[in-house]
Copies of this chain bind each other. A is one copy, B any other.
């Protein structure tokens, strides 16, 4: 099934408490080289027909206006898979 993938992350300037606690846990498990962990969303929009450029534009609008909170999040990537 063709799909568009919208990836949303917390804004870089913001603290990411969930990421911080995962990072601490990974350090305790020995993964000391990981300097930071940040956790965001991966949202798949599925279609039953091939994806068009218009769909990708709409996906950006949906991503920025509906699937993320522009105050604390950024849409970092929009991609498609056929």
Residues of A participating in the B interface, judged by any CB pair closer than 8 Å: 1, 7-9, 19, 22, 25-26, 29, 31, 33-49, 55, 58, 62, 66-67
A62 to B30, alpha carbons, bound, how many Å?
11
Number of copies: 2
When the two chains form their complex, are residues A33 and B47 in contact, meaning their CB atoms are under 8 A apart? yes
When the two chains form their complex, are residues A9 and B42 in contact, meaning their CB atoms are under 8 A apart? yes
A34 to B63, alpha carbons, bound, how many Å?
13
Chain B residues near A1: list those with CB within 8 A.
35-36
Cβ-defined partner of A38 (8 Å) among B8, B36, B44: B44
Chain B residues near A44: list those with CB within 8 A.
9, 19, 36-40
A26 to B42, alpha carbons, bound, how many Å?
17
